[in-house]
Structure 1
């Protein structure tokens, strides 16, 4: 296996861009085989090793195994970092603890890659586990050979090899690997053997299924690379199948969102059927959608201080939001609009409120309805500036000017407000 392992690493260029790598060493046959291989071929691969071990304190032998791993590191003169898990144990908590520590050590030791000992048997088990749990096809692709991780990459150089191919290397046997309390162990010792009675090559078939789905996914990714999933107009022009793919691809940017199938379909319905909307999803996220754009984002704290109100005196100027307002002073630089005012009384520049109305085309219209009719995006609605004088709304820059202001053009006009657009 040794020569095949080196050949595979060289052909794939797994370590071409890495000089210092962190190897996760549990003490089991998989990781002890990997440390022997990488140590043996460290010169050919041009890498320096750093070892990392997690003592989960779940077995009486844990401390003894840690001592043995420390002795191994000393013998081979490889730096070793050890962490101790504490608190209530669960597979998910332990996994998070491990990988958080791995990231920390990578940064502190200046390692550009983490190397783990996942192999072909793990690959088949993972695909079957995800299939049983009802995972989406994109998640049935199994374990990738290389993927981004922490400040660099996560590499699994044993992935093409089966455990039966490993040499008889000294290792520690974890009795918990035979406990049917764990889902992976049930898959390994119960479900896969039953399936092998029907098809002795079922593990190979599962691995191929993962590879085939990975090829399908990569093809779809390449074919849709020019589509922007956040462009609502472009998104809605696609078929349902393409929309589902684009949305799934976009959601990979939010690994802690974890939408189930029903929630995913609800989100898809929002994007295809709702106009302007802003709705909470889960885990502190919300979806924002207007007529042209949508995004998923963390929910910001709702606060009254988002509302604003400023007074502008005659003969002065003030910047509010993305506009500069000059009252009675015509600016030397170009301006986008001017609003006629009946008096020189102070002008109130404020955010919209519920029930606001403006006189347009002879009718007092709700500003909220005006926004909808003109398809003003939610974000722009919230940042809109209302121009009010003597409790009458006279204009909304770039959106509407009241009849009251327009009528002053040929009437008695006491003041004029000039509006410039500021880049912010």
Structure 2
């Protein structure tokens, strides 16, 4: 085992990246970064107790794209690893290609029972991403770098190489994408022009950027803790409580509120307008975009989705349906099961820490509609949020000799109300 592999194994074990995952999908482009990640995971699959699968997108932007796809298919066959391939279609942009990739990853995970997707983002990607976000005027919370892990599809998206420098990635065989050396795309200009020039001014520029992201993370933790103490975030915010905070804290409370709506994009100008509207005494009701309205009453303000009302029911099975759309929940053999909606003060045990559901939802950017999914308790202890996550209690019950297992999923009946 090489020193780099040993470091990688230690990172995986220390952070328990795969403790809850037996089927792991790797996003494999064929470049040195992803090929290194594949090699390390393949060599350590017995240590990590995982089964690997490969997801590859043929973007079709270079003459060698089909050749590279064929070579990756041969690699998968030689290693006896499942491979899933799709071809990008439509007009190419970085944004469209990324959306295409992640939609494909989600589809493959759900259809084939993978509970983790891993990507090969490393320290250099963090520096590039933060610099790009700063250049385009993104808010402070977006300058925290790249998340190490986050909920995705039927499980998690994990980036296990964020503590690694590019120089540590040692795949001997990979495909060199010559377009990465050009300046046609924004990221390439940042990587090949801006960062080298800034490094001339400060040879430790990349380290300084990583230190900055760490400080921003700490600052955002302090801000988030303060907002959590106020218990102000929800579907609606009480205007009086909001206006009793300092202007600086109002700014971050409103940012945190909008973070609950990942599908809602807001410009700095619009954000400032809304802050001004909230501080006025008049009520307000205007379309925010084609899907949402912003509403301010005499006591509250909130974002509301237009027209569609969703009514959720719960399907519960005690025998394995062999259907990956169902969530598998492990419960102790004894104890009364209670299924209900969330209530103020509810907490969940995640990664050894008790968290209020409100903070868990905010920290993990859980969409608002999923926050109303049913909760499953045994003797007043929370084992699962249906369709979202199982608590540490369920994971511990999985290892018990005697246990109960439920297979559940929300069933949504949709009613469209026309204006």
Q: TM-score, normalised by structure 1?
A: 0.69
Q: 2:51 & 2:36 partners in 1: Cα distance?
A: 17
Q: Which residue of 2 aligns with 1:247?
A: 254
1:90 Cα shift? 1.1
Are residue 295 (structure 1) and residue 302 (structure 2) matched? yes
How far the C-alpha of 1:161 sits from its partner, in A, is 0.5
TM alignment of 1:143-292, pairs within 5 A = 143-226=146-229, 227-229=231-233, 230-292=237-299
Which of 137, 142, 160 in structure 2 is aligned with 1:139?
142
* Partner secondary structure for residue 198 of structure 2: helix
Note the alpha carbon deviations across 1:302-352, whole angstroms, 9 max, x for none: xxxxxxxxxxxxxxxxxxxxxxxxxxxxxxxxxxxxxxxxxxxxxxxxxxx
Q: Matched residues in 1 for 2:294 and 2:128: separation?
A: 35
Aligned equivalents of 1:264, 1:68: Cα separation in 2: 48
Deviation per CA, 1:365-411: give whole Å up to 9, x if none: xxxxxxxxxxxxxxxxxxxxxxxxxxxxxxxxxxxxxxxxxxxxxxx
- 2:87 is matched with 84
Distance in 2 between residues matched to 1:274 and 1:81, nearest whole Å: 56
Provide the secondary structure at the position in 1 that maps to 2:147.
Answer: coil
User: Given that residues 279 and 288 in structure 1 are in contact (C-alpha distance below 8 angstroms), is that contact kept between their aligned partners in structure 2?
Assistant: yes
Deviation digits for residues 210-242 of structure 1, max 9, x if unmatched?
Answer: 121111112211122132131222112111111
* 1:50 corresponds to: 53
What residue ranges of structure 2 are gaps of 5+ in the alignment? 309-419
Q: Secondary structure of 2:176's partner?
A: coil
- Deviating more after overlay: 164-173 vs 60-69: 164-173
274-283 or 180-189, which deviates more: 274-283
Displacement of 1:293? 2.2
Deviations 1:114-158 (A, max 9, x none): 100000011111111111111111111111111121221110011
Q: Does the residue aligned with 1:143 lie in a helix, a strand or coil?
A: coil
SS in structure 2 at match of 1:241: helix
Q: Which residue of 2 aligns with 1:2?
A: 5
Distance in 2 (alpha carbons) for counterparts of 1:64 and 1:31:
17
Measured after TM superposition, the shift of residue 40 of structure 1 is 0.8
**1:123 is the counterpart of 2:126:** yes
Q: What displacement does 1:300 show? A: 3.2
Output the CA distance in 1 between the equivalents of 2:172 and 2:281: 61
1:273-293 deviations in whole A, cap 9, x for unaligned?
143221122343211121222
SS at match of 1:72: helix
Per the alignment, residue 107 of structure 1 pairs with 110
Equivalent position of 1:33 in the other structure: 36
Classify the secondary structure of the residue corresponding to 1:171: coil
- SS at structure 2 position matched to 1:251: helix
Does structure 2 conserve the Cα–Cα contact (< 8 Å) formed by 1:257 and 1:283? no
d(CA) in 2 for partners of 1:45 and 1:231?
A: 48
Distance 1:155 1:168 in 2: 20
- Which has the higher Rg, Structure 1 or Structure 2? 1
Report the 3-state secondary structure (helix = DSSP H, G, I; strand = E; otherwise coil) of the residue aligned with 2:26: strand
Equivalent-residue separation in structure 1 for 2:290 and 2:66 (angstroms): 38
Residue matched to 1:96: 99
Normalising by the residue count of structure 2, what TM-score does the alignment of the two structures yield? 0.70
The 3-state SS of whatever aligns with 1:4 is helix
SS in 1 for 2:66: helix
Separation in 1, partners of 2:27, 2:281 = 48
List structure 1 runs of 4+ shifted beyond 6 angstroms: none
The answer as to 2:75 corresponding to 1:68 is no
Who is 2:316 aligned against? none
Residues of 2 paired with 1:63 and 1:160: CA distance?
32
Gaps of 5+ in 1: 302-424
2:121–2:159 CA contact under 8 A, matched in 1: yes
Q: How many residues align?
A: 301
